[in-house]
Structure formats: structure tokens, C-alpha cells
Amino acid sequence: MQYGYFDSKKREYVIDRPDTPAPWANYLGSPEYGAIISNNAGGYSFVKSGAAGRLIRYRFNEQDRPGRYIYLRDDESGDYWSASWQPVGKPLEQYKSICRHGTGYTQLEADYKDIHSELCYYVPHGADYEVWRLKITNKGSKARKISVFGFVEFTCESFYEQDQVNLQYTQFITRTYFKEKFILQTINENCLNAVNESRVETRFFGLAGAKVESYCGDRAKFLGNYHDYGNPVSVENGKLDGTLNYNMNPCGALHTTLELAPSKSAECVFLLGQKRETQAKDLIARYEDSTLPDREVDELKSYWHKKLGNLKVTTPDDNFNNMINTWNAYQCFITFIWSRAASLIYCGQRNGYGYRDTVQDIQGIIHLDPDMALEKIKFMISAQVNHGGALPLVKYNHNPGHEDKPEDDSYSKSTGHPSYRADDALWLFPTVWKYIAETGNTALLDEIIPYADKGKDTLFNHLKKAIDFSLNHLGIHGLPAGLHADWNDCLRLGAKGVSVFVAFQLYYAFEIMIRFAKFKKDSATEKEMTKQKDRFGKIIEEHCWKDDRFVRGITENDVTVGKKDDPEANIWLNPQSWAVISGFADDVRGKSILDLVHKELNTKYGARIMSPAYRKHAFDGALALLFNPSTKENGGIFLQTQGWIILAEALLGRGNRAVEYYLESSPAAQNGIADTRLVEPYVYSQFTESVDSPFEGRSHVHWLTGTASTVMVGCVEGILGLRPDIDGLRLSPAIPAEWKSFTMEKVFRGKKLNIKVNNPDGHESGCKKLTVNGEAMEPQPSPQGEGSPLEGNYIPASILKAENEIILDM
Ligand code: GLC
């Protein structure tokens, strides 16, 4: 079943059936003010933090309730509905609804009994409040009088968890007031004029563009006993009774009446935010200008569309285009901004940035907004501890130079992280490399950045220390110890147990350091890193390869995980894909292990993280055993890993395979099987249940997932073959043989590239000829010294003009 489609021109996903199999959400706002909204107006808002700044309530794991509701009531008949299909939920034969999720806004249109409504929710660019703009039109032939009720359920206090569970306290600290055009909610108001005045908070819910006819600030009164959001007693009655809350549960509810002659429209605006009384008043006054919302929504669109426009691809596959041009890209920005803090699944409890997650998230936006990426790179570098390890969780109020760390009790108490993870700091290498290659900003290497706990260093030395950390934490055979976990949270290999995934990350880190050292003409470092890389390569060769595959790790007790004859978990995806990505596996071995992956792990929804799932033969630290088979890390299709297998196949030039993996797991390609997939067909989720599950194909943990960035990299760097390095850009597409041509418009270092790739003979990769502005690119000596010739698919940055016509014949 299909519930919607992509409107590529407007960069919207349009839901034309509101009874989606799960709430399909969108993100509005910025780090200052975040808002999540479903296609049925469910969701919540928060100031700065989903955990500590929760403004409105949402009941997780329930029926997508409550939300930002507007009820409409025909005052003649008493019949009422909502401007979103839910919560009133009129029969779909009578109620038509369209939801347009766009970049930073969500618009709901409804038609019910000749009344057409358009409701646009957005957070103005850079603002810390939200706007619900309602416009209704009388499509019938007789005059109508429509009562409009806006409703929001405030939390009793900003700490989400307290609001939900500590009712004996939170219910007794809040009050609401009516102030002519708005409901004002106060929290801890009694502290005004006391020493702890800072505890006082105020929120408002206001109405502009229409007169408030009645109001209510008390949830129980608004809903009525034994009524629900779908049938509030005050909406039934057509009037709000003016009750304000003093203790118990507050709300903001405002009522106005719009009279509509046939074919006439009327509009009004509801506003919500955490503001003082006078600020609220001023804001509402601004929105008396009814032209403001249109201008603000246009501004949002141009902000996002410009950013996303830095790469525009037109391939023969519309789903691919829609994801790369808009939705995967937008999701990358959302994960970049919100990390794993707030969604309909992440309830806001992870109050900080996971190190590895965020450093990986950065990779998803580098090609679109390198400046934004740079700021976060520096921030994350400043969360590296002086000895080279990284803080597993970086607090939102991170204070470089003064942080406690996993060695300190205080750190583990406040973050729940007792020790270091093996992979965290190693993610810096691909991320910093991608940033410098995209921008050419090599000066960053010499920039001095503080450590989390003490001291400061150049970024180059930070990277060296990350390597030191790994080399100082080696386990058996001299391979990197698994520590608290590696990328896989469910693998406790122990202090001396070792991780093969991390071994490949480290191998790759040496390679990146060699490139940087060469650039810096730092021959001592270049030599040292080359030596380490070779030495390490031999260890990997000797201990990580068994029969026909790379194993996953070796436990403290010398049990090798991922051997061919193991009864369970005998083949793992990541060590195979990373053997290729890291450059360790050559072409022949690369192809053979990826063929094995395809045979053993691939399914119709993507490649499993490992197989068979653990049931009876898990080792002690295999926490994945906790999950049902084919779920999450226990043999599920962990979608983040699809990006790596896509990239690995593309690096080997196998475009058919790369795109096969892409299509199996791409949300857009699953648009037609929404009832199987459940979650949004326009964004990635964390994992898909696989073959052991009775619900194979069902996906979970929407929006905030590393999948967004790894798949983006797999597609942009892998399939599309945009591979920048310090001096220019290599063009190495790995596409399905059936793509006869495609185009890309890319902004690269401030210059415009119009790229056309021709593939008349149906190749999967390769380059016969590349011309830049009419000139054929010849193989040329590497600007980095070595004397190794560059292939003809290389474009030196130095020859680029403001705008460039580039043609690659495959
Ligand atoms: C989750 C975590 C991430 C981890 C992954 C695999 O996505 O957020 O940090 O790498 O699971 O275990």
C-alpha cells in the first residue's frame, strides 16, 4: 500500500492518505527550538534540549498523541473535526487530507463538508518559537460560521522525565493566565522576586489575526472527564469555559469564530513558545500582519533549498534523485543537528552528543555545507582527551579544557559512560579527510584546538594522539583492543580482546596520516606512519583472515568471532566492507569477500549485519543475544552498514551491486510497501527486521540514525563517484550498467561544476575520456610527489573556473 509520493520540484513528501501505518514525522526548527510533527499533527517541541527543555507533551509509544491540534466546528450543525485528520478522525470517505512535509515546514490540507483548510506549521528561520498558520475557505454555496479551537498541552515543567513521572511534584508548580490574546503559562512563578528567580519559566500560546472569543488554560476542563483529544467536551459545546489552571495539568486553548460567505477565505495564526509576557505580546502583534507567514515560509524554503542545491543529481532513477537531492540530505542535517536526542523513539534522554555518532554524522553534510561541518569538527576535536581517547558522550554544555573524563567517577555518573570505546576517535580520520578534501582548507591541520580535559594542540597532533590512543590500547596479537565497545555497541570483546573492525579503522587512519604528512612535508611522520601501516597490515593478515573471510574479533579468552565453521555469527558484514574501504583488501580479495557477503548476508531488504543470529552460541560479551533473532545487532539489517557496503562495492567499481544494495534498503524504493516497512518512506531508520522475523522488512527507529550519513557517503562518493582530495576532484562513478547517462550540478570550493556522465556502452565504472571546459584531461603526475600518474578521471582544482562544463565518458 502506498500513502504518499515525492514532489521533487517542491522538495516535499506528500501524504495523501492520513492513515499511515505509523506516525510519519518531520522536523522543524533549529538547535534553539526544535519541533517534531507527524502527518497527523502529533509530536512535541522543546527549547534547546528534548530532555531539559520540553515545552509540550507527547505520549511515547502510544497513539501519536497529543500534538498541535486545531479543531473546526460548524456552529450551525455542531459537527466538528480537526484540521489534521487525527485526533477527531472523521471517516475518510468524508474527510480528504493531504500532508506536505517540506524542508522546515509541514502543511496540512483538509476538505470536509465544503470547508477547505490549510494549516502550515513552521519555526521561522533562526527563531525560537513556532507558528501554526490556518486558512479556511468556504467551498460551498451557503454562508458558514466556523468555530476554530487551537489547543496545546503544556508540560508542567521542562524536564521531560520529571513531567512524566514525578507527578506529586510537577503538578503543583504551574499556573495559566489569560492575557487578551494568549494563554500565559508560568512555572515556579512563586519564586519571582526570590533568590532563585531563574527557576521561573513562562510559555505562551497565542492567537493573531482573529479575536479570542473564549479560552481555557486547564487540560481537564478542555477535554472533559472521560473524553479524549478526539472529542473534547469544550469543542462539543462550542465554547471554552474560561477555567485557568492552578495546579494539575495546564493547557493552552483559544477559540475564535470565522464567518465565511460562499467561496470566501479567512485566516488566523496560532503562536507557541517559551517567552515572557511582554515578548509574547509583541510577537503576537507582529503576526497581525497576515502576509508575514508566507514570507517566512518562503525564507525557510530558500534557506534549505539553497543549501541542498549545492549538489543536484539527475539520474535515471527518481527515487535515487529524491533521496540524494532532498530527503537523505535533509535527514543528514537533522541528525547532524539533533544527534540522537529527540524523535518519536528517542525520548530526549540522551543529553549530549555521542562521539562516534556525531563525528560520522558530520560526513553527511560536508559536501553541502562544509562551513557548518567545520564548526562541529572543531567542537568534536575539543572533546578529545589529552591522551588521545575521545569522550564517549559530549555534553551539550561541553567546556573544552575543563571536562571530566571516563577515568573520573563524576563523568560516568553524569553520562552513564564508564570507559572509552575503541572506535570513537578513529572516526575523525575519514571525517577530517573528507572535509579537507572537499574544501582544500589544509590550514585546518595547523589550527590549535584544546583538548577536553587539559592542554591544546594542532589538529594534526590531535590526530596523531588518536593513533597513540589505539596503539596504547592493544590486545592480543597486537591488534586494537575492543575496550567498552567498538562501532557495534553490542560487542564487549574485553580489555585484551581485539576488534577487527577497529583494526581496519586504524589501518585507514595510518593512510590518512600519510597523506596529510606528505602534504605537510613532514617526512618523519610520513615514515613512521608508513612503517606502522605496513607492520599493522602484516598483523591483520596473520590474525584476522580465516579461510575465506575476515573475522569480527578475538575475545579476551582467545575465541575468534566470525569463523566459517562457527554455528552462529560466522560471517560479519563490517569487517568485509571495511577491509575494502580501508584499502587493505586488494581488488581480487575485495571482490571475493564482497561476493561472499552477497551470498551469505544479502536479503531482499539489504545485507544483514551478521548471520546466523545468536541463539545458543553467543560468547559472554555478545550483548546482541538480548535481541530477538534478525533484530538490531543480532543479525538484523543494521541500515548504517548498508552505506559501507554500497561504498565498498563502488570502490571496486561494481556499480550494479552498489545500486542493488542501495535499492534494497532505500526508503524511497520502499514507498509501495509502506505497510511492511511501517516507518517513513522518505527517511532512513536504524534497522530492518530480517529473515528470522515474522515481520521481515519492518523498519525501526526513524530519523536519528547514522544511516543517513553513511548512505549519503556511499552514494555521493561511491555510486556518483565524487571523490575529492587535497588538490582536486576525482570522478569515478560506479553505476548500474543500465544508466546510460546522468548529470550532476555541484558547488566545489565555491565553483560551479556542471557534470555530464555518458555511459552508452553500459559500463559499471571506468573512464574513457574526461573533458573539462572542452579540454581533455590527460593522465598527469601526482601533485603530491610520489610520481605515480593520476588517472584521466582527475580534475585539478587549479584549472577550475567560476563555472565549468565537465563531461565524463565511461
Ligand atoms: C546505534 C548507536 C551507534 C552504534 C550503533 C551500532 O546506532 O547510536 O553509536 O554505533 O548503534 O551498535
Span 114-154, pLDDT tens digits: 999 999 999 999 999 999 999 999 999 999 999 999 999 99
Please indicate whether residue 686, judged by its CB atom, sits closer than 6 Å to ligand 1. Answer: yes
Atom of ligand 1 nearest to the CA of 357: 9
Of all protein residues, the one whose alpha carbon is nearest to atom 3 of ligand 1 is: 357
Please indicate whether residue 354, judged by its CB atom, sits closer than 6 Å to ligand 1. Answer: yes
Any residues with CB less than 8 A from the CB of 700 and at least 6 apart, and which? 345, 678, 679, 685, 686, 687, 688, 689
Where helices occur in 128-182 by DSSP H, the ranges are 160-165, 167-170
Please indicate whether residue 488, judged by its CB atom, sits closer than 6 Å to ligand 1. Answer: yes
Atom of ligand 1 nearest to the CA of 488: 12
Please indicate whether residue 492, judged by its CB atom, sits closer than 6 Å to ligand 1. Answer: no
Round to the nearest angstrom and report the end-to-end CA distance of the chain.
Answer: 38
The 43-47 sheet, strands edge to edge: 25-30, 33-38, 43-47
Q: 791 falls in which pLDDT band (50, 70, 90)?
A: low
Distance 311 CA to ligand 1 centre (A): 28
Per-chain mean pLDDT for the chain: 96
> Among 34, 70, 672, 122, which residue's Cα sits nearest to residue 344?
34
Contact call for residues 577 and 647 (beta carbons, < 8 A): yes
The 69-74 sheet, strands edge to edge: 80-82, 69-74, 144-152, 250-260, 214-218
Atom of ligand 1 nearest to the CA of 487: 10
Strands 803-809 and 494-499: unpaired
Distance 358 CA to ligand 1 centre (A): 11
Q: How far is 103 from 12, CA to CA, in rounded Å? A: 7
Any residues with CB less than 8 A from the CB of 95 and at least 6 apart, and which? 81, 85, 110, 111, 112
Identify the residue whose cell numbers are 519559566: 201
Contact call for residues 33 and 129 (beta carbons, < 8 A): yes
Of all protein residues, the one whose alpha carbon is nearest to atom 6 of ligand 1 is: 488
Please indicate whether residue 636, judged by its CB atom, sits closer than 6 Å to ligand 1. Answer: no
Distance 574 CA to ligand 1 centre (A): 13
Of all protein residues, the one whose alpha carbon is nearest to atom 8 of ligand 1 is: 357
Buried b (16+ CB within 10 A) or exposed e, 658-693: bbbbbbbbbbbbbbeebebbbbbbbbbbbbbbbbbb
Please indicate whether residue 484, judged by its CB atom, sits closer than 6 Å to ligand 1. Answer: no
Identify the residue whose cell numbers are 506516525: 23
Percent over 90 (pLDDT), the chain = 93
Atom of ligand 1 nearest to the CA of 686: 7
Distance 348 CA to ligand 1 centre (A): 16
User: Ligand 1: which of 357, 639, 641 to mutate, judged by most atoms within 8 Å of the beta carbon?
Assistant: 357
Q: How far is 499 from 482, CA to CA, in rounded Å? A: 5
Atom of ligand 1 nearest to the CA of 705: 7
Contact call for residues 190 and 172 (beta carbons, < 8 A): no
Is residue 481's pLDDT more than 80?
Answer: yes
Any residues with CB less than 8 A from the CB of 710 and at least 6 apart, and which? 360, 363, 364, 640, 641, 642, 643, 644, 647
Atom of ligand 1 nearest to the CA of 633: 12
Q: How far is 72 from 113, CA to CA, in rounded Å? A: 11
Atom of ligand 1 nearest to the CA of 638: 6
Of residues 477 and 495, more confidence is placed in 477
Q: 789 falls in which pLDDT band (50, 70, 90)?
A: very low
Distance 553 CA to ligand 1 centre (A): 18
Is residue 785's pLDDT more than 70?
Answer: no
- What angle (nearest 5°) sits at the alpha carbon of residue 348, between those of residues 343 and 352? 115
User: Ligand 1: which of 489, 502, 711 to mutate, judged by most atoms within 8 Å of the beta carbon?
Assistant: 489
pLDDT of residue 563: 98
Distance 487 CA to ligand 1 centre (A): 6
Q: How far is 633 from 488, CA to CA, in rounded Å? A: 7
Atom of ligand 1 nearest to the CA of 489: 12
Q: 396 falls in which pLDDT band (50, 70, 90)?
A: confident
Identify the residue whose cell numbers are 459537527: 79
Please indicate whether residue 423, judged by its CB atom, sits closer than 6 Å to ligand 1. Answer: no
Atom of ligand 1 nearest to the CA of 340: 8
DSSP state of 491: B
Please indicate whether residue 633, judged by its CB atom, sits closer than 6 Å to ligand 1. Answer: yes
Please indicate whether residue 356, judged by its CB atom, sits closer than 6 Å to ligand 1. Answer: yes
- How confident is the model over 308-359, as pLDDT tens digits? 999 999 999 999 999 999 999 999 999 999 999 899 999 887 778 999 999 9
Strands 214-218 and 174-178: unpaired
User: Ligand 1: which of 420, 484, 574, 640 to mutate, judged by most atoms within 8 Å of the beta carbon?
Assistant: 640
- Phi and psi for 485 in degrees, rounded to 5? -175, 165
Q: How far is 97 from 85, CA to CA, in rounded Å? A: 7
Beta bridge partners of residue 99, listed in sequence order = 15, 108
Atom of ligand 1 nearest to the CA of 640: 7
What count of other Cβ atoms lies within 10 Å of the Cβ of residue 747? 15
Atom of ligand 1 nearest to the CA of 485: 12
**Is the whole-model pTM more than 0.95?**
yes
pLDDT of residue 197: 72
Q: What is the mean pLDDT of residues 242-271?
A: 98
What is residue 547's three-state secondary structure?
A: coil
Beta bridge partners of residue 43, listed in sequence order = 37
Amino acid, res. 204: F
pLDDT of residue 34: 95
Any residues with CB less than 8 A from the CB of 445 and at least 6 apart, and which? 436, 458, 459, 460, 516, 519, 520
Is 489 annotated in the active site?
yes
Please indicate whether residue 357, judged by its CB atom, sits closer than 6 Å to ligand 1. Answer: yes
Q: How far is 323 from 301, CA to CA, in rounded Å? A: 17
Distance 634 CA to ligand 1 centre (A): 13
pLDDT of residue 494: 80
Least confident range from 232-236, 324-328, 418-422: namely 418-422
Q: How far is 199 from 265, CA to CA, in rounded Å? A: 43
Distance 489 CA to ligand 1 centre (A): 6
What count of other Cβ atoms lies within 10 Å of the Cβ of residue 392? 26
Distance 432 CA to ligand 1 centre (A): 20
Contact call for residues 326 and 368 (beta carbons, < 8 A): no
Strands 549-550 and 265-273: unpaired
Q: How far is 495 from 56, CA to CA, in rounded Å? A: 44
Question: Distances from the Cα of 393 to the Cαs of 214, 319, 381, 452, 585, in angstroms?
Answer: 47, 35, 13, 12, 33
Q: What is the mean pLDDT of residues 497-506?
A: 98
pLDDT of residue 788: 46
Identify the residue whose cell numbers are 512555572: 187
Q: Hey, what's the cell of 486?
A: 567498538
Please indicate whether residue 487, judged by its CB atom, sits closer than 6 Å to ligand 1. Answer: yes
Question: Between 459-471 and 500-520, two packed helices, what is the crossing angle to 10 degrees?
Answer: 150
- How confident is the model over 373-390, as pLDDT tens digits? 999 999 999 999 999 999
What count of other Cβ atoms lies within 10 Å of the Cβ of residue 763? 18
Is residue 650's pLDDT more than 80?
Answer: yes
Q: Hey, what's the cell of 795?
A: 580534475
- Phi and psi for 334 in degrees, rounded to 5? -65, -45
Our measurement of the distance from residue 112's CA atom to the centroid of its chain's CA atoms, rounded to an integer in Å, reads 35
Is residue 780's pLDDT more than 90?
Answer: no
DSSP state of 413: H
Question: Distances from the Cα of 395 to the Cαs of 326, 339, 354, 400, 416, in angstroms?
Answer: 30, 12, 9, 11, 12
Please indicate whether residue 335, judged by its CB atom, sits closer than 6 Å to ligand 1. Answer: no
Q: What is the mean pLDDT of residues 489-502?
A: 94
Distance 632 CA to ligand 1 centre (A): 10
Please indicate whether residue 417, judged by its CB atom, sits closer than 6 Å to ligand 1. Answer: no
Q: How far is 698 from 489, CA to CA, in rounded Å? A: 22
Distance 413 CA to ligand 1 centre (A): 21
Rg of the chain over Cα atoms, rounded to whole angstroms, equals 28
Distance 710 CA to ligand 1 centre (A): 12
What is residue 769's three-state secondary structure?
A: strand
Q: What is the mean pLDDT of residues 705-727?
A: 97
CA atoms within 13 A on the CB side of 254: 27
Among the listed residues 114, 489, 566, 809, the single catalytic one is 489
Distance 419 CA to ligand 1 centre (A): 16
Q: Hey, what's the cell of 685?
A: 531508520
Please indicate whether residue 489, judged by its CB atom, sits closer than 6 Å to ligand 1. Answer: yes
- How confident is the model over 442-479, as pLDDT tens digits? 999 999 999 999 999 999 999 999 999 999 999 999 99
Identify the residue whose cell numbers are 596523531: 464
pLDDT of residue 790: 53
Please indicate whether residue 392, judged by its CB atom, sits closer than 6 Å to ligand 1. Answer: no
Segment holding 156, helix H or strand E: none
Distance 488 CA to ligand 1 centre (A): 6
Amino acid, res. 99: C
For the chain, the farthest-separated pair of C-alpha atoms sits apart, in whole angstroms, at: 86
Where helices occur in 77-197 by DSSP H, the ranges are 160-165, 167-170
Please indicate whether residue 57, judged by its CB atom, sits closer than 6 Å to ligand 1. Answer: no
Q: Is the dihedral of CA 82, 83, 85, 87 positive or negative?
A: negative
DSSP state of 421: B
Q: How far is 519 from 526, CA to CA, in rounded Å? A: 10
Identify the residue whose cell numbers are 542501495: 662
Length of the chain: 810
Q: What is the mean pLDDT of residues 42-65?
A: 94
Q: How far is 778 from 306, CA to CA, in rounded Å? A: 34
Please indicate whether residue 340, judged by its CB atom, sits closer than 6 Å to ligand 1. Answer: yes
Please indicate whether residue 700, judged by its CB atom, sits closer than 6 Å to ligand 1. Answer: no
Of all protein residues, the one whose alpha carbon is nearest to atom 9 of ligand 1 is: 357
Torsion angle (degrees, nearest 10) of CA 500, 505, 510, 513 = -170
Buried b (16+ CB within 10 A) or exposed e, 776-792: ebeeeeebeeeeeebeb
User: Ligand 1: which of 394, 423, 487 to mutate, judged by most atoms within 8 Å of the beta carbon?
Assistant: 487
Contact call for residues 501 and 488 (beta carbons, < 8 A): yes
SS (H, E, C) 214-226: EEEEEHHHHHCCC
